[in-house]
Structure 1
Amino acid sequence: MEFKGVINEAFPRPEDLISFTVSHVQKGFKISVRKLPISKSGPIDEMSERLSIPVPEMIFGDNMVAIEHLATGWRMEFNAYDALDRVDKTDKNMLKVAYSQEWSSSREKTHEGIKEVVKPFDWSYTTDYKGTITKGKSFELQKDNADPIPIELLKRPDPILFFEEVVLYESELDDNGISLFSCKLRVMPDRMLLLCRLFMRLDNVLIRVRDTRIYVDFTLGKIIRDYTEKEDTFDAVKKNLLQTGTIPTDLTIALRDPNKVAHLIPEVTHTLESLTVS
């Protein structure tokens, strides 16, 4: 196939992003997803300058997931820039590896052309990002977790009308593990669930899972946000895997799969919020 056009031209152009967005409308709610290739060097450098930190090796800067209530205009989205903007930009929460000094030095040289990016930050790209409300009212914290996500309703064999999985960023932490932020959603006739997950594994040190679940009841116009932080040592998670029947030869694969370890990691933080649009 012959390539026609300017090689250095930005792709996609900002004005073209809407054409790469797929949407599904269900009972007054519009759910939109955009999935594009890894960002190119120009947008990467621009994002690093704006954030004042180097971005992960695999950054999907144009990807996003959004939920909009058409009648009121209320809108919430998840995107890579806002997720990374919640990464600690100091050395307060910086994790250490066996050769941390060499690792830090190498990371500072990742974007040598950006002179501003020299200060330490959380190299694990751990974020407490829970989404961005771009229009409309904010969530209200629920006292005593009185109205949780109705799991039993989600277990019903309802038809799935729309399903997508979107990666916002990924880093292999200089071959010391992985930090992955992704979103997965499914839309049923009367409700939907969006799970945005940070999975961070620093080999021989620590494993973290941070989950944001957005549940929408289309009929009631009720939206629940459930946020959980889980964390444990690498060795403790390995031990738990073995105790639950994982054979030693499968440990490496299991430790790379957040679905196999998330339920084995103790919860350290949990908040429940909700709002109603009408």
Structure 2
Amino acid sequence: MSFNGPVDENFPTPAAADKSTVSHVQKGFKISARKLPISKSGPIDEMSKKLGIPVPEMIFGDNMVSIEHMASGWRLEFNAFDALDRVDKTDKNMLKVAYSQEWSSSREKTHEGIKEVVKPFDWSYTTDYKGNVTKGKPFEVGPELIPIELLKRPDPILFFEEVVLFESELDDNGISILSCKLRVMPDRMLLLCRQFMRLDNVLIRIRDTRIYVDFNHGKVIRDYTEREDGFDKVKKSLLFSGRLPGDLTVALRDPNQIVNLLPEVKHTLENLALP
């Protein structure tokens, strides 16, 4: 993939960022999304220094998704920097596989200008990121569940976006990708921020944050789930579910085909009522 202009050019300008942001207002809520090209070397190095770890190969540092309640100013945002800031920056949760040291060394060479930040960290970029409330009151632990039946209604979709925040191929040993997908209907919306991490022959993880908003009652629900299982166990589960051996490669690359096969290891539920 090639880009025009110097590789260390700061990008984007504020004007370009504004032009690249699309928004939809629905019953007092403003839903926005921004999609821009992969960050260039200057912003990448700056981000790595601030984070204290190398960033993934494909980092969309200017992309974001936000939900704002216009009357109160409450705002929830999803972006790459804050997601990566939740990655473990120690070796406590680093996956212990044969090539981990080789991978770390290769990343160090990639970031020779910032060697001082290269240290043990979770190089799978696993994050428990659930978005940041940038203004207004925080979520509280609550019992109310996302009303799945309401979301199954054939309501018209007024606004839809899918935004990638970062992606790494884990040195050709799998994938770690974080993205946000949202759809807005007349009376409600759903946002899914999903991290899919597949380390070939080792482990598969899916971490989902769902944000449900009831526009009519100003209710917001945040549902967070962690699922994971060993790579070989997932392959067996796919076979037991009726997949043919020749279809396994495709299925293992599609989180939608395997998410319900992974055991749930953590689940939190939070509620918020806006005026």
* Same fold by TM-score greater than 0.5: yes
- Residue type at the aligned position of 1:28: G
Name the counterpart of 1:237. 234
**In the alignment, residue 23 of structure 1 is paired with which amino acid?**
S
Alignment match, 1:253: 250
Alpha carbons 1:73, 1:136 under 8 Å: kept? yes
Residues 220-275 of structure 1: CA deviation (Å, up to 9, x unaligned): 00000000000100011000101111111111111011111111100000000010
Q: What runs of 5+ residues in structure 2 fail to find an aligned partner? A: none
Deviation at 1:4, TM superposition (A): 9.5
Equivalent position of 2:266 in the other structure: 269
Change (3 A) 1:241 1:7: closer
Alignment of 1:56-205 (within 5 A): 56-142=56-142, 146-205=143-202
May I ask how many residue pairs the two structures share in their alignment? 273
Matched, 1:228 2:229: no
Point out 4+ residue stretches in structure 1 off by more than 2 angstroms: 3-11, 96-101, 107-110
Deviations 1:75-117 (A, max 9, x none): 0000000000000000000012232322222222220100322
Q: Is the contact between residue 108 and residue 117 of structure 1 (CA under 8 Å) also seen in structure 2?
A: no
Matched, 1:219 2:219: no
Tell me the distance in 2 between the aligned counterparts of 1:57 and 1:172: 8
Match of 2:207 among 201, 210, 224: 210
AA aligned opposite 2:33:
V
- TM-score with structure 2 setting the length: 0.96
Alpha-carbon displacement from aligned partner over 1:149-177 (angstroms, at most 9, x marks no partner): 00000000000000010000000000110
| Kept in 2: contact 1:209–1:230 (CA 8 A) | yes
Within 2, Cα distance between the matches of 1:114 and 1:8?
15
C-alpha distance in 2 between matches for 1:29 and 1:68: 6
Structure-1-length-normalised TM-score = 0.95
- Asked if the contact 2:95–2:124 (Cα under 8 Å) also holds between the matched residues in 1, the reply is yes
**How many Å separate the matches in 2 of 1:81 and 1:5?**
24
**Partners of 2:244 and 2:19 in 1: CA distance:** 47
CA RMSD of aligned residues (A): 1.5
What SS does structure 2 have at the residue aligned with 1:32?
strand
Identical-pair percentage: 79
Residues 6/167 of structure 1: CA separation in 2 closer, same or farther (3 Å cut): closer
Contact 2:65 2:79 in 1 (8 A): yes
Check the 8 A contact 2:76/2:135 in 1, yes or no: yes
Q: Which amino acid counterpart does residue 252 of structure 2 have in structure 1?
A: L
Query: Which residue matches 1:43?
Result: 43
